[in-house]
C-alpha cells in the first residue's frame, strides 16, 4: 500500500501503472482463452472407426478358430480343377484378361471398370493392394512371365537395354568372385564354405534371371512395334498419374507409385460392384459392421507377385481376379454367426447361377461374378478341364521326366 505521506503525484503515477497492468492482464486473458472442445464428428476418423468395428473383439472364437458349418456350395469340388475351370470358361470369348497395370487405364477411361472408395456406406477395403510395391511400372510378358521396364522415350528403352547388359556383367563378375572364394576356402572352414556355397547358388540364380531379362528386353527393343508399345504404355500411365480425377502421382517417386498402384487395384467391373455392395448392405444391416473386402481386380502381373507368398493365389494364365469380376471377403474377425450368414448369402447366389465361390483357408471367401449373369455351359467347362489335363503332366509323367533327366545327367 501507499503511505499517507506519499506525494499525490506518486499516488497518481502508481494508480496509473496499476491500471495499465490490469488492462494488459485482461487483454492477455482475452487472447489466450481456451477454445471450446471440437465436436465428436470432428474428432472421429471414419476410417479408423470402421477398422475398429471390423476388428472388434466378439467375445468368442472368430475366423478359422470359430466352429462353422461350411455350405457344400463353398467347398472344393471333388475334382479341384473344376473351380478355376468354371471361371475360365466364363471369361472365354467375352471378358478381357487384364495383364498389367497399363491394361487398366483404357478400361477406366471407357468406364468398363469402376473405382470403389476405401470406405463405403456398408463396406471397407481392408488390405486391398497391401502387397503392391513402389517399383517402377513395367510391361508384363505372359509368355516368359517377365517384367519389361517402361520408358518415356525410345531412347529411354535403349538405356534400359544397356542397364540390363550391365546387370549381366555385374552378375557374371560376382559369380566368378564367389566361386574363386569358395575354391580358396580351406576345407576345415566348413561354415564359411557352406556360406559361400549358398551365395554361389543365389548368384547363379540372379545371373540367370538377369540374362533372361536382358535377352527379352533386347528382343523388345529390336522390334519397332514392341519398342513403341513400351513407350505408349508409359505415356498412358503418365497421363493418368498427372491427373487422376483431381489427384496427381509422381512416377519418379516410389511412394507415389505404390499409392497409384493401390488405387488402381481398387477397381472392379460394374456387375461385380453391384453384387458386392448388395452383400455388404445385407451384412451391415444384420451386424452393424462394415463388410471387409480384401481384394478386387488384380492384373496377372500383380497376381504372379502374390503367388510367390500366397498359396491361395491362382497361378494360371487367366486368374479370376484379372478379369475384374472377382472379389474376396475377409472373415478373419467374424464370429460363427457372421460367417455362416455371409456364407449362406453367397451359397444362395451360387445356387441361383450368378457366382462361383469358395471359402478359402486363408481367411477369405472368394466370389466370382459371372459376366453374363449365368453359369457357363457345362460342355465349355469340360473342355477347359480337358485342356488343363493335357497341359499339366500327371504324377507318373512328371516322375518319368525326372528319371529321364537324371539318366541324362549320369550319362554326361
According to the 3-state scheme, what is the secondary structure of 124-160? EECCCCCCCCCCCCEEEECCCCEEEECCCCHHHHHHH
Q: Give the per-residue pLDDT at 64.
A: 95
pLDDT (mean) for 6-33: 39
Q: Give the per-residue pLDDT at 310.
A: 55
- Residue 402 in any domain: the answer is no
Q: Give the per-residue pLDDT at 202.
A: 96
- Answer for the pair 251, 240: CB distance below 8 angstroms, yes or no: no
Confidence of residue 161 (pLDDT cuts 50, 70, 90): very high
Query: CA 349 → CA 40, 345, 346, distances in Å?
Result: 40, 6, 5
Asked if 307 and 364 sit in the same domain, the reply is: yes
- Residue 154 in any domain: the answer is yes
Q: Give the per-residue pLDDT at 314.
A: 52
pLDDT (mean) for 206-215: 94
Asked if 204 and 346 sit in the same domain, the reply is: no
Confidence of residue 208 (pLDDT cuts 50, 70, 90): very high
Asked if 221 and 150 sit in the same domain, the reply is: yes
Cα distance between residue 158 and residue 100, in whole Å: 22
∠ CA 131-291-362, nearest 5°, is 50
Residue 233 domain boundaries? 139-250
Asked if 114 and 146 sit in the same domain, the reply is: no
Asked if 221 and 281 sit in the same domain, the reply is: no
Kindly tell me if the per-residue pLDDT of 20 is higher than 60: no
Of 2-11, 31-40, 103-112, the one with minimum mean pLDDT is 2-11
Asked if 293 and 275 sit in the same domain, the reply is: yes
Q: Give the per-residue pLDDT at 92.
A: 84
Q: With CA atoms as reference, report the closest residue to 76 among 331, 366, 306.
A: 366
Kindly tell me if the per-residue pLDDT of 332 is higher than 70: yes
pLDDT (mean) for 396-404: 45
Cα distance between residue 282 and residue 345, in whole Å: 9
- Residue 18 in any domain: the answer is no
For residue 119, the cross-strand partners are 124
Domains: count for the chain = 2
- Residue 409 in any domain: the answer is no
Asked if 337 and 389 sit in the same domain, the reply is: yes
pLDDT (mean) for 168-186: 95
Confidence of residue 150 (pLDDT cuts 50, 70, 90): very high
What is the per-residue pLDDT across 211-251, written as a single tens digit (0 to 9) for each?
Answer: 999 999 999 999 999 999 999 999 999 999 999 999 999 99
Q: With CA atoms as reference, report the closest residue to 285 among 334, 355, 326, 338.
A: 338
Q: Give the per-residue pLDDT at 104.
A: 97
Give the number of other CB atoms < 10 A from CB of residue 58: 16
- Residue 379 in any domain: the answer is yes
- Residue 99 in any domain: the answer is yes
Cell of 23: 488492462
Q: Report the CATH number that the domain containing residue 62 is assigned in CATH.
A: 3.30.1380.10
Quick check: pTM over 0.75? yes
pLDDT (mean) for 179-193: 92
Cα distance between residue 381 and residue 372, in whole Å: 15
Asked if 270 and 121 sit in the same domain, the reply is: yes
Asked if 156 and 238 sit in the same domain, the reply is: yes
Asked if 76 and 106 sit in the same domain, the reply is: yes
- Residue 43 in any domain: the answer is no
Q: Rg for the chain (alpha carbons), in Å?
A: 32
Asked if 111 and 224 sit in the same domain, the reply is: no
Asked if 298 and 149 sit in the same domain, the reply is: no
Cα dihedral 324, 326, 332, 337 in deg (nearest 10): 140
Last residue of a domain, one of 250, 273, 292: 250
Cα distance between residue 25 and residue 31, in whole Å: 10
Kindly tell me if the per-residue pLDDT of 139 is higher than 80: yes
According to the 3-state scheme, what is the secondary structure of 119-131? ECCCEEECCCCCC
Last residue of a domain, one of 219, 250, 281: 250
Share of the chain above pLDDT 70, in %: 81
Kindly tell me if the per-residue pLDDT of 160 is higher than 50: yes
What is the per-residue pLDDT across 372-381, written as a single tens digit (0 to 9) for each?
Answer: 888 999 999 9
- Answer for the pair 121, 296: CB distance below 8 angstroms, yes or no: no
For residue 147, the cross-strand partners are 140
Q: Where are the alpha helices (DSSP H) in 223-299?
A: 224-242, 254-264, 270-287
Q: Give the per-residue pLDDT at 309.
A: 57
pLDDT (mean) for 401-410: 43
Kindly tell me if the per-residue pLDDT of 290 is higher than 90: yes
Cα distance between residue 52 and residue 55, in whole Å: 5
Mean pLDDT of the chain: 85
Cα distance between residue 211 and residue 218, in whole Å: 10
- Residue 170 in any domain: the answer is yes
Kindly tell me if the per-residue pLDDT of 159 is higher than 60: yes
| Kind and range of the H or E run holding 384 | helix 378-391
Kindly tell me if the per-residue pLDDT of 108 is higher than 90: yes
pLDDT (mean) for 43-67: 92
Confidence of residue 317 (pLDDT cuts 50, 70, 90): low
Confidence of residue 95 (pLDDT cuts 50, 70, 90): confident
Cα distance between residue 334 and residue 341, in whole Å: 10
Amino acid at each position: 500500500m501507499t503511505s499517507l505521506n506519499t506525494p499525490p503525484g506518486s499516488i497518481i503515477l502508481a494508480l496509473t501503472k496499476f491500471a495499465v497492468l490490469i488492462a494488459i492482464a485482461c487483454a492477455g486473458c482475452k487472447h489466450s482463452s481456451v477454445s471450446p472442445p471440437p465436436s465428436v464428428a470432428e474428432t472421429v476418423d471414419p476410417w479408423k472407426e470402421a477398422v475398429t468395428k471390423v476388428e472388434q473383439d466378439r467375445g468368442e472364437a472368430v475366423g478359422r478358430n470359430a466352429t462353422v458349418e461350411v455350405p457344400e456350395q463353398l467347398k472344393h469340388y471333388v475334382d479341384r480343377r473344376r473351380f478355376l475351370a468354371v471361371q475360365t470358361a466364363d471369361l472365354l470369348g467375352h471378358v478381357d484378361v487384364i495383364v498389367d497395370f497399363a491394361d487398366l487405364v483404357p478400361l477406366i477411361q471407357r468406364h468398363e471398370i469402376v473405382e470403389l472408395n476405401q470406405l463405403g456406406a456398408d463396406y471397407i477395403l481392408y488390405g486391398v493392394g497391401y502387397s503392391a510395391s513402389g517399383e517402377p511400372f513395367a510391361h508384363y510378358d505372359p509368355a516368359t512371365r517377365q517384367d519389361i521396364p517402361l520408358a518415356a522415350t525410345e531412347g529411354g528403352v535403349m538405356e534400359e537395354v544397356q542397364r540390363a547388359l550391365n546387370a549381366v556383367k555385374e552378375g557374371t563378375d560376382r559369380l566368378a568372385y564367389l566361386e574363386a572364394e569358395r575354391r580358396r576356402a580351406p576345407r576345415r572352414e566348413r561354415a564359411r564354405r557352406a556360406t559361400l556355397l549358398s551365395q554361389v547358388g543365389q548368384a547363379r540364380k540372379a545371373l540367370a534371371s538377369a540374362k533372361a531379362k536382358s535377352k527379352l528386353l533386347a528382343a523388345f527393343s529390336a522390334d519397332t512395334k514392341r519398342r513403341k508399345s513400351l513407350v505408349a504404355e508409359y505415356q498412358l500411365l503418365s497421363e493418368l498419374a498427372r491427373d487422376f480425377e483431381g489427384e496427381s502421382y509422381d512416377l519418379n517417386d516410389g511412394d507415389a507409385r505404390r499409392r497409384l498402384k493401390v488405387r488402381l487395384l481398387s477397381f472392379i467391373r460394374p456387375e461385380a460392384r453391384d453384387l458386392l455392395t448388395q452383400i455388404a448392405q445385407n451384412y451391415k444391416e444384420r451386424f452393424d459392421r462394415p463388410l471387409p473386402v480384401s481384394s478386387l481386380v488384380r492384373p496377372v502381373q500383380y497376381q504372379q507377385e502374390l503367388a510367390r507368398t500366397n498359396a491361395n493365389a491362382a497361378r494360371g494364365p487367366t486368374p479370376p481376379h484379372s478379369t475384374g469380376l472377382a472379389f474376396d471377403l475377409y472373415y478373419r474377425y467374424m464370429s460363427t454367426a457372421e460367417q455362416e450368414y455371409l456364407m449362406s448369402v453367397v451359397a444362395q447366389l451360387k445356387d441361383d447361377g450368378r457366382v462361383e465361390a469358395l471359402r478359402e483357408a486363408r481367411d477369405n471367401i472368394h466370389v466370382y461374378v459371372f459376366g453374363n449373369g449365368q453359369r457357363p455351359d457345362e460342355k465349355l467347362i469340360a473342355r477347359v478341364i480337358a485342356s488343363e489335363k493335357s497341359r499339366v503332366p500327371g504324377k507318373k509323367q512328371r516322375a518319368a521326366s525326372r528319371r529321364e533327366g537324371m539318366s541324362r545327367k549320369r550319362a554326361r
